[in-house]
Every structure is written in structure tokens, then in C-alpha cells.
Amino acid sequence: MSKRYAEPELTSAQIHELIDLARKTDESLSTLDGSNQAMYLLRTFNMADRVYGLWPDSAQPSGYAYGIMKGKLGSAAMRRVAKNAEISVTAVFQEGEDHADLTGEVYGGLESCADDHPEAYAQAFNFWINIVPANFEATKARIRGYILG
């Protein structure tokens, strides 16, 4: 049996705070090239207990939808900080929900295999470098290129 955890809905003020955090991250990323963006994002993920992905959504009052890319309730990251009432949170703009899911999954691969599986870590790290900082459409085109040659 798996445990399911319900994430509490964020308030409007919390969403606007996430938007501000994502803008600050975006400003820092805009000065970097692709591989340095990937390294900056990796540091950002490593330093935070929870990372939200934000993407444009005109149906939302704030103009953005969001998802948790690292630190969902019940995750290893949240179990590590369970006794601490405060967690560090940051946010990153993403192209869409698929991009946020992909980013979270690739980071999860990095986090889960870092110590015990160096070959898997190297593969996940290459995915991170090649996929995460890119425009999602460009990423999909690059992945198609890898697959189709």
C-alpha cells in the first residue's frame, strides 16, 4: 500500500511570493549560458528543501499554475526536514507542466543515485545539462534528434 499525501493549496500571497522568487532566479539565469544555467539550477535545487515550478496559465488568478518539482510531502527531502518546522523554498519558471514534471524527474534521478550508482548519476547529470535549462520546444527537438539521429 502506498501512502498518499495531500499538498495544501497555496494562498494568493504565497503564489505571488513564488512568482517573485522565480523572477529572481530567472534574472540570474538570463546572464548565463546553457551549461552554466544548468549548474546554477542544480545548486538552486540542492540548496532548497522544496522547489516549485511555475508556468503561464491564463485560467489562474495569478496568471501562473504551479507544481512541486522537489520536496513533495512524503518525499525523501521532506522526511529529512520533518522535525524542522521551517523549510527552504524556491521557485523556477518552466515552459509548462510537462517541463516542470521532466525537470523534477531528472533531478529526482540525480538525487536518488548520486552515491550508490555513479554510472546512473553520470547519465542523469548529462540529461540535466542537456535538458533542464533549455526552452522546452528546443529540448523536445534535441531529444528527437538524439533518438532519430
pLDDT digits (tens, 9 = 90+) for 71-83: 887 665 555 555 6
Q: What is the mean predicted confidence (pLDDT) over 10-21?
A: 93
Residue 38, Ramachandran bin (φ over 0: left; ψ between -120 and 50: alpha; else beta) = alpha
Helix (H) or strand (E) holding 111: helix 97-113
Q: Is the dihedral of CA 34, 26, 64, 126 positive or negative?
A: positive
Give the per-residue pLDDT at 93: 93
List the beta strands (DSSP E) in 12-71.
50-56, 64-70
CA 33 to chain CA centroid, Å, is 18
Give the confidence band of 1 by pLDDT, cuts at 50, 70, 90: very low
Residue 62 has pLDDT above 80, yes or no: yes
The C-alpha cell that represents 94 in the structure block: 518552466
Give the per-residue pLDDT at 3: 43
pTM > 0.85 = no
Q: Which amino acid is at 59?
A: A
Contact residues for 137 (Cβ-Cβ < 8 A; gap 6+): 95
Residue 40 has pLDDT above 80, yes or no: yes
Residue-averaged pLDDT of the chain: 79
DSSP annotation string for 32-48: S-HHHHHHHHHHHHHH-
**Looking at 62-71, 74-83, 123-132, which range is the least confident one?**
74-83
User: CB atoms < 10 A from the CB of 107, how many?
Assistant: 21
Q: What is the mean predicted confidence (pLDDT) over 3-28?
A: 83
